[in-house]
Structure 1
């Protein structure tokens, strides 16, 4: 047996039984195998990889919004909820991932199981048809309308919300869909992109259509704030400004008062290092604000990119509900 073959055989043996009593060497091998398997799936089966992560959340380090952002940056479209395509869990459609009903606020296990069963009888033809066959409550259906689940039926969202009470009443009375008379709709304006994004974050907790930072890019460009992906193109030591949603705050006990942030904009993740004196000066902003503008010195060496913060300000976005931050000490 060659040396390489022998090493591979030992790796497989160790990783196959990571918890063997008294053999701590097994654990690194087990983690190495998990890392290798994950990298293999992400490279060769990316849609299935991201779909599985979303279906097994909560797990790991990153919230669903970050998983979706990473999928899109790697060329995997993430499709919104659709009453005639979505199922309770997220699903794979070709090289895309379709968001599942489990992510909709106000819909429980009984509800999305009812939708799955009703969908087996054929496509939903109208809002009333959906209400009649699923028997979901008003809040659950309204949330589905808000995130565009009925867009494929061809009616505007505000019009559907106007029709919802009558559709629910007709469903309770078991009226035939074709015989339901809907009252005349008043003139209703369609939701703006930022209103759609607000609904996505509020109902789903993730960006099904737009990343929150997209709406502030023009303003940030005027302020000469860079995107996270642009940081890697600049030389070490450059003075930079970058902005993003705070994904994670870390203050390890071994870091001697240093705080580490992970932020995300519409292009990538970014790393921020905050020294104790800077943290003391901007403590309230760092601890309580969800979208930050960071100014400082760029550290770009050996493929590792971060910003050593000297100033931290809040962007004060129009909405923050649904944004998710993890804090560790």
Structure 2
């Protein structure tokens, strides 16, 4: 099964689904080819706890670990993030989602002057973590099958230096990039565009846009879709869970009435307020959390 990885920017617009495979240097005279190209890589830094030891200024920016790998052999070029001895770095996939596929699911590009070990964990919501285990450094290919729910999508990866090799000016593991191989197409739709407040009935404009998206999904050869509803943290947990489930069900039911998606395997799940993408302390953050995601798997 081949999986694509894309998102809309909290609006009812469909992304182009076709992606071009690209090859990337692993920093050790080898190459990695990824079916989804640049969309494969982690997109955001969620948290960093620098470890002990010396971290040269050029390697202190955690943002150097997001996006495609760009290490050229210059250890002072600012192209990787050094964790420090025992340090941690948490990254997020925002325009794709990690899933379990047969074989390797992640590439971690660990570069720099030395090769250090790292512990890896994955999470759906950034709160509950599944420990994948240690990786040896260098270009590391990881299969998450032992800890992953086969039906789950994971948005977060946490890297923790093993604290063993911490000498020199770049103490701990040096992370150039993290790539998801097993990924799923993710459409993220603005809840305010889809629904009125406290309602699970689609607005007329939302029906038109969802019909267009159904055509794009079908053209990409989708075999399953999963619709997930999300709310902000306003109101009770039980109410938010119920509303998110109702909205996910509404979107799922509408999509499966479209001729292009007739008979497709489709599920609906309400996540309530449990999986925010932004803070609930601001109106902007709450608006981002009120969303519906459509996750598409393809042959």
**If the length of structure 1 is used for normalisation, what is the TM-score?**
0.30
State the structure with more CA Rg. 1
The structure that is strand-richer by fraction is 2
